[in-house]
Amino acid sequence: MKRTTRRAAANHVRDLCIAMEAIAPTELAQDWDNVGLLTGDQQAPLRRILLCIDLTEAVVAEAIRRKVNAVVAYHPPIFKPVASLRRQSTDMDAVVFVAIENGIAVYSPHTALDAAVGGTNDAIAALCGLVDVHPLEVAEPPSSREFKLVVFVPANHLDSVSAAMFAAGAGRIGDYACCSFRLFGQGTFLGGESTSPTIGRGGRSELVHETRLETVVRPRDLPAVISAMRRVHPYEEPAFDVYPLAIKPVAGIGRIGRLPKATTSGQLARLLKRKVGANCIQIVGQAARRVDRAVIVVGSAGSLPLRAGLGEGDVVITGEIRHHDALTYLRHDASAIALGHWASERPALTQLAGRLRAALNGVEVSVSTADGDPVAKAV
């Protein structure tokens, strides 16, 4: 018998877009950002991916040398509206031109990866060993806001009404389906003379044994679920309510968490310098100051950490700090550590590479060795 082996299905650039959307949904990005597939053909074959923080000439040369089909560049090389694409340019358009010329797709996650679970901020939180970690600012993408639909159903119609709602998309929580809560009680109504109630008579007060049926519904499914409920519900006028649910505080910009044990800002800075491989680190405040809570905003934190209610024992961990922001942190009795902009974002690439390998079977994923910190070591 001839033995055959099953070959993995061919991957395309669109599969990278799908994988990145699952890892760092583009709707989590800040509204001023430019994320997603910036250049490239979604139908193009995908065999090799290169990850970097900045798409520089050296990174593009590395991508060409490695015969890479796509680069995931954390910082978007196309940020402002494109006026021109010129090879002979000192701006980013020259780098983008060469990438396009060599058939290399460019994808940028930027602030979507900052907000996503397991993204850039979580990478630094993990290096610090933070516990009780939560976002500093919760992202509220419109399509993530769910609704709770509550409808009151007579007991003998409960199964048919709930089944119709579930079939239309209600009751889905993660990998679970047909999720609901049911509470038995009594409902009352008084129908007008022209009504024909399913139970009782018009013009007479009625008391009915009913079930309060609650279930969650995604925004896109809400019209279909309500329509299905009305179609199957026995009442002329079903009583139901729709409640918008608050966003679960899972994804968002920045992270706040407790250090596993109190330390000093100097000791924490030395630990992070070693773990991220930073060229040079700055400390705001005395290095001997005790810290037990960290507020993390990779890149440039600005005034964002102030939303955490900074105080004594807090340390802001970021990439770079402006002079006046440093003074503001000190006025709030907080410390701060600046790892360097590039160094604060780079640790996330290793984990991202692993997640892409798992999602894209047979695709070679590597982290660029040409990508480097533009700030030289201290002399």
CATH of the domain at 179: 3.30.70.120
Q: pTM of this prediction?
A: 0.75
Please check whether residue 171 is in contact with residue 151, taking contact to mean a CB–CB distance below 8 angstroms. no
pLDDT digits (tens, 9 = 90+) for 11-46: 999 999 999 999 999 989 998 999 999 999 999 999
What's the confidence (pLDDT) of residue 6?
A: 46
Q: Is residue 351 part of a domain?
A: no
- Shared domain check, 93 and 31: yes
- Shared domain check, 129 and 262: yes
3-state secondary structure of 80: coil
pLDDT digits (tens, 9 = 90+) for 302-345: 999 999 999 999 999 999 999 999 999 999 999 999 999 999 99
What's the confidence (pLDDT) of residue 350?
A: 96
Q: Is residue 364 part of a domain?
A: no
- Shared domain check, 338 and 301: yes
Q: What is the mean pLDDT of the chain?
A: 90
Neighbour order of strands in the sheet with 364-367: 36-39, 105-108, 70-73, 48-52, 364-367
pLDDT digits (tens, 9 = 90+) for 201-250: 666 677 788 999 999 998 889 999 999 999 999 988 888 999 988 766 66
Last residue of a domain, one of 207, 229, 244: 244
What number of other Cβ atoms are within 10 A of residue 219's Cβ?
A: 13
Most confidently modeled of 2-11, 73-82, 239-248?
A: 73-82
Distance, in Å, from the CA atom of 59 to the CA atom of 101, rounded to the nearest integer, reads: 15
Please check whether residue 37 is in contact with residue 17, taking contact to mean a CB–CB distance below 8 angstroms. yes
Q: Is residue 358 part of a domain?
A: no
More confident residue, 165 or 377: 165
What's the confidence (pLDDT) of residue 5?
A: 47
Tokens of 283: 């400390």
Last residue of a domain, one of 186, 218, 244: 244
- Shared domain check, 85 and 160: no
Q: Is residue 376 part of a domain?
A: no
- Shared domain check, 267 and 335: yes
- Shared domain check, 91 and 132: no
pLDDT above 90 covers a percentage of the chain that reads 73
Q: What's the whole-number mean pLDDT along residues 284-294?
A: 96
- Shared domain check, 268 and 130: yes
Q: Is residue 379 part of a domain?
A: no
What's the confidence (pLDDT) of residue 4?
A: 47
Q: How many domains does the chain contain in total? A: 3
- Shared domain check, 259 and 238: no
- Shared domain check, 276 and 130: yes
Domain that holds residue 287: 122-139+251-344
Distance, in Å, from the CA atom of 301 to the CA atom of 324, rounded to the nearest integer, reads: 12
pLDDT digits (tens, 9 = 90+) for 99-128: 999 999 999 999 999 999 999 999 999 999
CATH number at residue 95: 3.40.1390.30
Rounded to 10 deg, the angle between the 120-128 and 265-276 helix axes is 120
User: Which amino acid type is present at position 332?
Assistant: H
